[in-house]
Amino acid sequence: MRLRCAVLDDFQKVATEVADWSAVADEVEVVSFDRHFDGEDALAAALADFDIVVTLRERVPFPGSLIARLPRLKLLVASGMRNSVIDYAAAEAHGVTVCGTASSSTPPVELTWALLLGLARGIVEENNALRSGGPWQSTVGADLHGRRLGLLGLGKIGSRVAQVGLAFGMRVSAWSQNLTRERAEEVGVELASSKEELLAGSDFVSVHLALSDRTRGLLGPAELALLKPTAYLVNTSRAAIVDQDALLDALRSGRIAGAGVDVFDIEPLPDDHPVRTAPRLLATPHLGYVSQANYATYYGHAVEDIRAFLDGSPVRRLP
């Protein structure tokens, strides 16, 4: 009897198309789900008959309570090599091997600039007006050249966002708690003297920090109040870094010019979530990692992980 493998959150129905699963086809039956299972009870019921689960990023939590309800589960594959919503101790205790995949930083860099440019030039508003017979030109675009781009975080993604900003002729500065002047100079950007100075002096602010205890809620009401009324905020990192209620208040009151967001406190967003109707917001449904090349890597490596597990030599084990 073949093992059964569930692929979660395959919204585009491409998991079995972007990678070659033939290496495990004789031993594994693959079933992809194009809808999200909301809550532990729904997940436990849907996955009860599966031996392997492939999960996408950190959208689906696997706490110990869920793992305990999946006695058939033997292998859990998570895209990327870092996942904060899997209880690794519980997985080990229940004999579940956890493996990851490689992940490219290129797609989130590109999406960051798609959001920033879309905000700056009113792309969505102008496109909607053009297609619906609305006004011919109703916005005045914000310039990038000569403006200051402030980056919260200058790691793998932040440094590449910085390079694009420099190519646009922007003044780029960065801040994080451990960022050194040497690192900033290596990338070719200024080191902001403080988080507060970066926020108050930037025309565009983009978040590129990992979520941790010290970055959770890093931008709250007081920090958002420092932004210029003409400033734009972009977050393609993690929703919890920015106080969601404070951001909604800033958008509704017009205290900032706009925000571009790809990450949310609940994913997928409920139909009645206030983000869906917030003004001055350009939002995408967590597309930062969603690209053809990245998906080919995720699912191609998932196949390799499954094959290696079947052969008794798991690869890319987490944590």
Token pair of 84, please? 């904060």
Sheet holding 75-78, edge to edge: 28-32, 3-7, 52-55, 75-78, 97-99
What are the DSSP E strand ranges found in the chain? 3-7, 28-32, 52-55, 75-78, 97-99, 148-152, 171-175, 190-191, 204-207, 232-235, 258-261, 281-283
Residue 168 sits at the vertex; the CA angle it makes with 166 and 174, to the nearest 5 degrees, is: 35
Q: Which residue's structure tokens are 């895209």?
A: 79
Q: State whether the Cα torsion 118-185-169-171 is positive or negative.
A: positive
Residue 158 and residue 185: Cα distance in Å, rounded?
14
Helix (H, G, I), strand (E, B) or coil at 25: coil
State the catalytic residues: 238, 267, 286
At residue 41, what are phi and psi to the nearest 5 degrees?
-60, -45
256 to 122, 232, 295: CA distances (angstroms): 15, 6, 35
Residue 127 and residue 114: Cα distance in Å, rounded?
15
Q: Are 191 and 184 a contacting pair, CB within 8 Å?
A: yes
